[in-house]
């Protein structure tokens, strides 16, 4: 089945530690996105990538980093500089048709908490 796989489902971070959230898609989508969701805040964009080896900062990129070495993969690293990392992280992807990007499809999310 085609889809977006996020792992792990739950992740715990110690103070001063970097952690990496995995996102893999087998939908052959060009664009991939990372969002953060806090209670009552909706989804906020962290980073996005429209093509391999290129990515752009979203609204809340500070304390996060990404890479896009392969079309299928877009890992997100939450660095120790992110002082409030506890949230639900969602990865999404979308295809490109005729120059326009189509609706985004989401993975099941990773819930990150501080120990």
By CB under 8 A, name the binding residues for another protein.
Answer: 31, 33, 35, 40-45, 48, 50, 56, 58, 88, 90, 94, 100-101, 103-109
Nearer to another protein, 16 or 40 (CB): 40
Distance separating alpha carbons of residues 113 and 34, to the nearest angstrom: 17
Distance separating alpha carbons of residues 108 and 9, to the nearest angstrom: 8
Contacts of 16 (CB under 8 A, 6+ apart): 80
Nearer to another protein, 18 or 62 (CB): 62
Q: Do the strands 42-51 and 110-114 form a parallel or antiparallel pair, or are they unpaired?
A: unpaired
Residue 103 Cβ vs another protein, minimum distance, rounded to whole Å: 5
Residue 94 Cβ vs another protein, minimum distance, rounded to whole Å: 7
């Amino acid at each position: 089945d085609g889809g977006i796989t996020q792992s792990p489902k739950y992740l715990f971070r110690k103070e001063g530690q970097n952690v990496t959230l995995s996102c893999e898609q087998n939908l052959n989508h060009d664009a991939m996105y990372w969002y953060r969701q806090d209670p009552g805040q909706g989804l906020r964009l962290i980073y996005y990538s429209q093509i391999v080896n290129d990515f752009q900062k979203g609204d809340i990129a500070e304390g996060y980093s990404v890479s896009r070495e392969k079309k299928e993969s877009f890992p997100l690293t939450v660095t120790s500089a992110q002082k409030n990392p506890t949230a639900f992280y969602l990865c999404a992807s979308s295809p490109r048709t005729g120059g326009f990007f189509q609706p985004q499809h989401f993975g099941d999310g990773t819930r990150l908490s501080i120990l």
